[in-house]
Amino acid sequence: MKTHENVHLLMEKEKAGLGAAYVYGFKEAMYEMKADVIVEMDADFQHDPKDVVRLVDEIDKGYDYVIGSRFAKGGSIPEEWAFKRKFFSVGGNIFSKIVLGIFNVNDFTSGFKASRVKGFVDRLPLDTILSRGFAYKIDLLFKMHRLGAKIKEVPIKFGLRDRGNSKMENNNMTDSLRVVVTLRYNENKNFVKFLAVGGIGFIVDAGLFNILRIGTLSSRNSALASGFTAMMVTFILNNYWSFGERKIDGTKKKVVGFIVYIIFSSIPIAVRSRLVGFSVSMFGDTALVSNTAFLIGIILGLIWNFTVYSKIIWKGKK
């Protein structure tokens, strides 16, 4: 602006919602101002400008997403708020925490945040946010979490509005509910894809297991060989499909990722192999005994693998 050159005022051509306005601001900050950190806050002094320094300090300490939290220990909301608003605000955050499974966050709808751009905001799908209204906050928080951002809450005292009028839409609660449920559903699609890949892996695994078993290898060694073959097939499918939005890029990272994949995936394979070996030694090396033990091992491995894959291998890139 003419008086303050470091102030940039953006004007939308038409009112499109709070989320759309923030996306507009994010892009301006990233592409035009080349920002390293983006701070979101209300301009009606419900957020204390002095707290900006506290949030940015946490970015300097290595955190990627810092939330000015009303519900963290030491934070607060106005006592003057009506019971209904307090109930929906507190209850909505508890609901979001449980459904989305992000237990280190207490304030999902805070409008006061500092975000690291490189590796995080610049990787958010800003053009396809789930809400153009207030619920964009929940959407972006969840996606920052999925990218592996180190999140820190800084307690703030949320004040009463000093000036201006509330921009809160009438459908804020239902829109937030829709976004939370949609995010959970979309996240579960990863599990559905994982099951499909697991099905393909099972066909490869079980087919090769029985081919080798009726050949020259013992049931135990057949289980090892078929397991490692299926593991290579499923790594490729998981990387490019099941967890495609978080896929491991680059030859070096793929090699490292595959080594980690082998290490963790070998654990249920080894357990299954021992289970098959123990079962046939106790009850005889028949098709029924070996395949029953094999199937039990598959089920145990399924639970282990999805947990490890989603939480460690494809948790998001730093």
DSSP for 115-180? EETTTTGGGS-GGG-S-SSTTHHHHHHHHHHHTT--EEEEE-B-----SS-----TTHHHHHHHHH
Query: How far apart are alpha carbons 277 and 39 in whole angstroms?
Result: 58
How far is Cα 216 from Cα 197, in angstroms, rounded to an integer?
Answer: 29
Contact of 187 with 205, CB cutoff 8 Å: no
Write out the chain's pLDDT in tens, 318 residues: 567 778 888 888 888 888 999 999 999 999 999 999 999 998 888 899 999 999 999 999 999 999 999 999 999 988 888 887 888 888 888 989 988 889 999 999 999 999 999 999 999 999 999 998 889 999 999 999 999 999 999 999 998 765 555 555 557 888 999 999 899 888 778 778 888 888 898 899 889 988 988 887 888 888 888 888 988 898 999 888 888 878 888 888 888 888 999 898 889 888 888 888 998 898 888 888 888 888 888 888 878 888 888 888 887 654
Q: Are 241 and 121 contained in the same domain?
A: no
Helix (H) or strand (E) holding 114: strand 113-116
**Among the three residues 112, 140, 169, which one is the final residue of a domain in this structure?**
169
Report how many domains make up the chain. 2
Domain that residue 282 falls in: 185-313
| 217 and 262 housed in the same domain | yes
Which CATH number do you get for residue 45? 3.90.550.10
Same domain, 36 and 79: yes
Q: At residue 226, what is the residue type?
A: S
Structure tokens at 35: 């920002």
Q: Is 200 in the same domain as 301? A: yes
